[in-house]
Amino acid sequence: MNASIDRQNCTSCGTCWDTCPEFFEEDPDDHFSRIIGKYRNDGSRSEGSVPDDLEDCVKEAADLCPVQIIAVTE
């Protein structure tokens, strides 16, 4: 499963990194959500590969994002 964040529309609410801190974190530079380094695709802060054991929490974070900017694809 892959996940992406439309970072420029992030409101920095913190829901995703509170829900799934193993995969999402706050970027200290712009305060938007980003994907944790080891899961990034080609170093991208906004696109990553989700390990099997984090699929449920990434999906939950995507569901809970108030502006619905986290996309998950198989």
- Of the ranges 34-42, 44-52, 66-74, which one interacts with ligand SF4 (CB under 6 A)? 66-74
CA separation, residue 2 to residues 37, 42, 46, 57, 60 (Å): 14, 13, 11, 13, 14
Helix then strand then coil, in percent of the chain rounded to 5, is 30, 25, 45
Nearest approach in angstroms of CB 14 to ligand SF4 is 5
Check residue 44 for interaction with ligand SF4 (CB under 6 A).
Answer: no
Out of 54, 65, 73, 74, point to the residue binding ligand SF4 (CB under 6 A): 65
| Chain positions contacting ligand SF4, by CB under 6 A | 5, 10-16, 33, 65-67, 69-70
